[in-house]
Amino acid sequence: MSVLIVGSTALDSIKTATKENPKLLGGSASHAAVAASFFAPVNMVGAVGHDFPKKYIQLYRKHGINLDGLQSLDGTTFHWSGEYAADMNHRRTLSTELGVFEGFTPHLPDSYRDSEFVLLANIAPSIQMHVLEQVKNPKFVVADTMDLWLNIALPDLLRLLKRVDAFVLNDSEARQLTDERNMVVALKKIHRLGPKYVIIKKGEHGSILSGPDGLFLAPAVPIQKVVDPTGAGDSFVGGLLGYLATQNGQIEKNLRKAVVVGSVVASFCCEGFGLSRTTKTTRVMIDDRCKLVERLTKF
Protein backbone atom coordinates (compact mmCIF):
# COMPACT_ATOMS: atom_id res chain seq x y z
CA MET A 1 0.00 0.00 0.00
CA SER A 2 1.56 3.32 -1.01
CA VAL A 3 1.69 6.48 1.09
CA LEU A 4 0.88 9.98 -0.13
CA ILE A 5 3.08 12.64 1.49
CA VAL A 6 2.76 16.40 1.14
CA GLY A 7 5.02 18.84 2.96
CA SER A 8 7.97 21.12 2.43
CA THR A 9 10.70 20.18 -0.04
CA ALA A 10 13.47 22.47 1.10
CA LEU A 11 17.05 23.54 1.36
CA ASP A 12 18.17 23.69 5.00
CA SER A 13 21.09 25.68 6.38
CA ILE A 14 21.91 24.21 9.78
CA LYS A 15 24.23 25.55 12.46
CA THR A 16 25.35 23.57 15.48
CA ALA A 17 27.95 24.45 18.12
CA THR A 18 30.63 22.72 16.03
CA LYS A 19 29.56 22.91 12.40
CA GLU A 20 27.68 24.93 9.84
CA ASN A 21 26.14 23.22 6.81
CA PRO A 22 24.47 25.36 4.16
CA LYS A 23 21.74 24.26 1.77
CA LEU A 24 21.38 20.60 2.60
CA LEU A 25 18.40 18.67 1.30
CA GLY A 26 15.65 19.16 3.87
CA GLY A 27 11.97 19.83 4.32
CA SER A 28 9.30 17.90 6.14
CA ALA A 29 8.25 15.97 3.00
CA SER A 30 11.85 15.02 2.15
CA HIS A 31 12.57 13.61 5.62
CA ALA A 32 9.18 11.91 5.88
CA ALA A 33 9.33 10.45 2.36
CA VAL A 34 12.78 8.90 2.83
CA ALA A 35 11.68 7.50 6.21
CA ALA A 36 8.46 6.02 4.78
CA SER A 37 10.32 4.57 1.78
CA PHE A 38 11.94 1.90 3.97
CA PHE A 39 8.49 0.31 4.22
CA ALA A 40 6.13 1.45 1.47
CA PRO A 41 6.14 3.09 -1.97
CA VAL A 42 5.85 6.86 -1.56
CA ASN A 43 3.99 9.39 -3.72
CA MET A 44 5.38 12.82 -2.87
CA VAL A 45 3.73 16.23 -3.36
CA GLY A 46 5.80 19.39 -3.14
CA ALA A 47 7.43 22.19 -5.09
CA VAL A 48 11.01 23.18 -5.84
CA GLY A 49 12.56 26.18 -7.56
CA HIS A 50 15.24 26.60 -10.23
CA ASP A 51 17.98 26.43 -7.58
CA PHE A 52 17.11 22.90 -6.41
CA PRO A 53 20.15 20.70 -7.11
CA LYS A 54 19.66 17.76 -9.49
CA LYS A 55 21.56 15.49 -7.09
CA TYR A 56 18.71 15.88 -4.59
CA ILE A 57 16.19 14.74 -7.22
CA GLN A 58 18.43 11.73 -7.79
CA LEU A 59 18.46 11.02 -4.08
CA TYR A 60 14.63 10.97 -3.98
CA ARG A 61 14.71 8.59 -6.95
CA LYS A 62 17.27 6.34 -5.26
CA HIS A 63 14.66 5.81 -2.54
CA GLY A 64 12.03 4.95 -5.14
CA ILE A 65 9.99 8.07 -4.31
CA ASN A 66 7.40 8.87 -6.98
CA LEU A 67 7.92 12.49 -8.04
CA ASP A 68 4.90 12.93 -10.35
CA GLY A 69 3.48 15.33 -7.74
CA LEU A 70 6.69 17.36 -7.31
CA GLN A 71 6.35 20.58 -9.26
CA SER A 72 9.31 22.52 -10.57
CA LEU A 73 8.31 26.17 -10.42
CA ASP A 74 9.74 29.50 -11.42
CA GLY A 75 11.27 30.94 -8.24
CA THR A 76 13.47 29.83 -5.39
CA THR A 77 13.20 26.68 -3.30
CA PHE A 78 11.81 26.88 0.27
CA HIS A 79 14.82 27.73 2.46
CA TRP A 80 14.91 27.21 6.22
CA SER A 81 17.82 28.01 8.47
CA GLY A 82 18.18 27.14 12.09
CA GLU A 83 20.69 27.11 14.90
CA TYR A 84 21.01 24.58 17.74
CA ALA A 85 22.12 25.33 21.28
CA ALA A 86 25.07 23.28 22.56
CA ASP A 87 22.66 20.85 24.30
CA MET A 88 21.06 20.06 20.87
CA ASN A 89 17.63 20.18 22.49
CA HIS A 90 16.86 23.80 21.79
CA ARG A 91 16.82 25.32 18.37
CA ARG A 92 16.12 28.73 16.98
CA THR A 93 14.74 29.35 13.51
CA LEU A 94 16.96 32.00 11.91
CA SER A 95 14.89 32.36 8.74
CA THR A 96 12.06 30.76 6.78
CA GLU A 97 11.81 31.76 3.13
CA LEU A 98 8.77 30.11 1.61
CA GLY A 99 9.91 30.75 -1.99
CA VAL A 100 7.82 28.67 -4.42
CA PHE A 101 5.54 27.56 -1.56
CA GLU A 102 4.14 31.10 -1.38
CA GLY A 103 0.67 30.73 -2.92
CA PHE A 104 1.38 27.10 -3.92
CA THR A 105 -1.81 25.13 -4.65
CA PRO A 106 -0.82 21.57 -5.44
CA HIS A 107 -2.71 19.67 -8.11
CA LEU A 108 -2.68 15.93 -7.38
CA PRO A 109 -1.82 13.62 -10.26
CA ASP A 110 -4.72 11.21 -10.95
CA SER A 111 -2.57 8.28 -9.84
CA TYR A 112 -2.32 9.80 -6.31
CA ARG A 113 -6.05 10.33 -5.74
CA ASP A 114 -6.82 6.79 -4.64
CA SER A 115 -4.22 6.89 -1.85
CA GLU A 116 -5.44 5.31 1.39
CA PHE A 117 -2.62 6.43 3.69
CA VAL A 118 -2.05 10.17 3.68
CA LEU A 119 0.61 12.14 5.53
CA LEU A 120 0.03 15.89 5.72
CA ALA A 121 3.56 16.68 6.85
CA ASN A 122 4.44 20.08 8.24
CA ILE A 123 3.49 22.88 5.81
CA ALA A 124 0.79 25.58 5.72
CA PRO A 125 -2.53 24.00 6.83
CA SER A 126 -4.24 25.49 3.75
CA ILE A 127 -1.91 23.43 1.52
CA GLN A 128 -2.50 20.32 3.67
CA MET A 129 -6.28 20.79 3.31
CA HIS A 130 -6.04 21.41 -0.42
CA VAL A 131 -4.28 18.07 -0.87
CA LEU A 132 -6.65 16.19 1.43
CA GLU A 133 -9.67 17.48 -0.49
CA GLN A 134 -8.32 15.87 -3.68
CA VAL A 135 -7.94 12.38 -2.18
CA LYS A 136 -11.04 10.28 -2.94
CA ASN A 137 -11.44 7.93 0.00
CA PRO A 138 -8.56 8.05 2.48
CA LYS A 139 -8.36 5.28 5.09
CA PHE A 140 -5.95 6.94 7.52
CA VAL A 141 -4.86 10.58 7.50
CA VAL A 142 -2.09 11.92 9.74
CA ALA A 143 -1.25 15.62 10.11
CA ASP A 144 1.85 17.26 11.55
CA THR A 145 2.43 20.96 12.17
CA MET A 146 4.74 23.46 13.87
CA ASP A 147 4.61 26.59 16.02
CA LEU A 148 4.72 28.93 13.01
CA TRP A 149 1.34 27.64 11.77
CA LEU A 150 -0.15 27.81 15.27
CA ASN A 151 0.91 31.46 15.28
CA ILE A 152 -0.17 32.55 11.81
CA ALA A 153 -2.75 30.02 10.54
CA LEU A 154 -4.61 28.66 13.58
CA PRO A 155 -8.16 28.86 12.07
CA ASP A 156 -6.96 26.84 9.02
CA LEU A 157 -5.31 24.29 11.30
CA LEU A 158 -8.44 23.90 13.45
CA ARG A 159 -10.52 23.27 10.30
CA LEU A 160 -8.02 20.62 9.21
CA LEU A 161 -8.03 18.84 12.58
CA LYS A 162 -11.72 18.01 12.13
CA ARG A 163 -10.77 15.97 9.05
CA VAL A 164 -7.75 13.94 10.21
CA ASP A 165 -7.49 10.62 12.03
CA ALA A 166 -4.23 11.37 13.81
CA PHE A 167 -2.42 14.55 14.80
CA VAL A 168 1.27 14.62 15.67
CA LEU A 169 2.86 17.56 17.48
CA ASN A 170 5.60 18.20 20.00
CA ASP A 171 5.06 18.99 23.66
CA SER A 172 5.68 22.73 23.37
CA GLU A 173 3.21 22.93 20.46
CA ALA A 174 0.65 20.97 22.50
CA ARG A 175 1.08 23.48 25.32
CA GLN A 176 0.72 26.41 22.93
CA LEU A 177 -2.39 24.94 21.29
CA THR A 178 -4.20 24.08 24.52
CA ASP A 179 -2.77 26.59 26.97
CA GLU A 180 -2.24 23.61 29.29
CA ARG A 181 0.99 22.41 30.89
CA ASN A 182 -0.20 18.94 31.90
CA MET A 183 0.11 16.62 28.89
CA VAL A 184 -2.72 14.30 29.96
CA VAL A 185 -5.12 17.24 30.10
CA ALA A 186 -3.65 18.70 26.90
CA LEU A 187 -4.27 15.39 25.10
CA LYS A 188 -7.94 15.43 26.12
CA LYS A 189 -8.31 18.97 24.80
CA ILE A 190 -6.66 18.05 21.49
CA HIS A 191 -8.95 15.03 21.00
CA ARG A 192 -11.89 17.40 21.37
CA LEU A 193 -10.59 19.30 18.32
CA GLY A 194 -11.21 16.21 16.15
CA PRO A 195 -8.43 13.62 15.91
CA LYS A 196 -9.11 10.11 17.21
CA TYR A 197 -5.39 9.60 17.79
CA VAL A 198 -2.96 12.20 19.12
CA ILE A 199 0.78 11.68 19.35
CA ILE A 200 2.92 14.06 21.39
CA LYS A 201 6.65 14.01 20.67
CA LYS A 202 8.94 14.82 23.56
CA GLY A 203 12.32 14.77 21.80
CA GLU A 204 14.91 12.70 23.66
CA HIS A 205 12.18 11.74 26.16
CA GLY A 206 10.14 9.76 23.64
CA SER A 207 6.49 10.13 22.73
CA ILE A 208 2.95 9.57 23.99
CA LEU A 209 0.25 8.01 21.83
CA SER A 210 -3.32 8.64 22.92
CA GLY A 211 -6.34 6.88 21.40
CA PRO A 212 -9.50 4.93 22.22
CA ASP A 213 -7.36 2.23 23.90
CA GLY A 214 -5.77 4.77 26.24
CA LEU A 215 -2.15 5.85 26.40
CA PHE A 216 1.01 4.22 25.07
CA LEU A 217 4.47 5.50 26.00
CA ALA A 218 7.38 4.97 23.62
CA PRO A 219 10.96 5.86 24.51
CA ALA A 220 13.34 7.65 22.19
CA VAL A 221 16.18 5.32 21.24
CA PRO A 222 19.19 6.23 23.39
CA ILE A 223 21.98 7.27 21.02
CA GLN A 224 25.52 8.31 21.89
CA LYS A 225 25.87 11.34 19.68
CA VAL A 226 23.19 13.65 18.36
CA VAL A 227 24.76 15.32 15.33
CA ASP A 228 21.68 17.13 13.98
CA PRO A 229 18.07 16.51 15.07
CA THR A 230 16.60 18.45 12.12
CA GLY A 231 13.91 16.34 10.52
CA ALA A 232 13.64 13.88 13.41
CA GLY A 233 9.95 14.68 13.84
CA ASP A 234 9.29 14.26 10.12
CA SER A 235 11.25 10.99 10.04
CA PHE A 236 9.22 9.81 13.03
CA VAL A 237 5.88 10.37 11.35
CA GLY A 238 7.10 9.18 7.93
CA GLY A 239 8.43 5.93 9.38
CA LEU A 240 5.27 5.50 11.43
CA LEU A 241 2.89 5.86 8.47
CA GLY A 242 5.09 3.92 6.04
CA TYR A 243 5.13 1.00 8.44
CA LEU A 244 1.38 1.24 9.13
CA ALA A 245 0.54 1.19 5.42
CA THR A 246 2.18 -2.21 5.03
CA GLN A 247 0.51 -3.97 7.97
CA ASN A 248 -2.60 -6.11 7.82
CA GLY A 249 -5.41 -5.75 10.31
CA GLN A 250 -6.82 -2.84 12.21
CA ILE A 251 -4.92 0.42 12.58
CA GLU A 252 -5.41 0.35 16.36
CA LYS A 253 -3.64 -3.01 16.55
CA ASN A 254 -0.57 -1.82 14.65
CA LEU A 255 -0.24 1.74 15.90
CA ARG A 256 1.91 1.05 18.98
CA LYS A 257 4.54 -0.79 16.97
CA ALA A 258 4.32 1.98 14.33
CA VAL A 259 5.19 4.58 16.99
CA VAL A 260 8.27 2.55 17.98
CA VAL A 261 9.30 2.19 14.33
CA GLY A 262 8.93 5.97 13.92
CA SER A 263 11.16 6.58 16.95
CA VAL A 264 13.77 4.22 15.53
CA VAL A 265 13.89 5.94 12.13
CA ALA A 266 14.07 9.32 13.91
CA SER A 267 17.07 8.09 15.93
CA PHE A 268 19.01 7.41 12.72
CA CYS A 269 18.09 10.86 11.41
CA CYS A 270 19.68 12.49 14.50
CA GLU A 271 23.00 10.74 13.91
CA GLY A 272 23.95 12.77 10.83
CA PHE A 273 23.45 16.20 9.28
CA GLY A 274 20.29 16.60 7.23
CA LEU A 275 19.41 13.33 5.53
CA SER A 276 23.00 12.04 5.40
CA ARG A 277 22.56 9.27 7.96
CA THR A 278 18.96 8.34 7.13
CA THR A 279 19.85 7.73 3.50
CA LYS A 280 22.56 5.26 4.58
CA THR A 281 20.18 3.35 6.83
CA THR A 282 18.73 -0.03 5.84
CA ARG A 283 15.62 -1.95 6.80
CA VAL A 284 17.78 -4.49 8.64
CA MET A 285 19.32 -1.71 10.77
CA ILE A 286 15.83 -0.42 11.57
CA ASP A 287 14.59 -3.88 12.55
CA ASP A 288 17.63 -4.39 14.81
CA ARG A 289 16.97 -1.13 16.66
CA CYS A 290 13.30 -2.06 17.08
CA LYS A 291 14.44 -5.27 18.79
CA LEU A 292 16.74 -3.18 21.00
CA VAL A 293 13.78 -1.01 22.08
CA GLU A 294 11.82 -4.17 22.84
CA ARG A 295 14.63 -5.42 25.09
CA LEU A 296 15.03 -2.04 26.77
CA THR A 297 11.37 -1.69 27.66
CA LYS A 298 10.44 -5.24 28.66
CA PHE A 299 9.79 -5.93 32.35
Q: Which residues bind ligand AMP (CB under 6 A)?
A: 8, 10, 12, 26-28, 31, 80, 96, 122-123, 146, 148, 230-234
Residue 78 or residue 112: which is nearer to ligand AMP going by CB?
78
Residue 116 or residue 156: which is nearer to ligand AMP going by CB?
156
**Which residues have CB under 8 Å from 83's CB, separation 6+?**
14, 15, 16, 91, 92, 94
* Distance in Å, CB of 148 to ligand AMP, minimum: 4
* Distance in Å, CB of 32 to ligand AMP, minimum: 9
* 120: amino acid identity, one letter: L
* Distance in Å, CB of 252 to ligand AMP, minimum: 25
Residue 8 or residue 278: which is nearer to ligand AMP going by CB?
8
Residue 33 or residue 244: which is nearer to ligand AMP going by CB?
33
Residue 1 or residue 88: which is nearer to ligand AMP going by CB?
88
* Distance in Å, CB of 116 to ligand AMP, minimum: 24
Residue 243 or residue 295: which is nearer to ligand AMP going by CB?
243
* Distance in Å, CB of 151 to ligand AMP, minimum: 10
* Distance in Å, CB of 248 to ligand AMP, minimum: 29
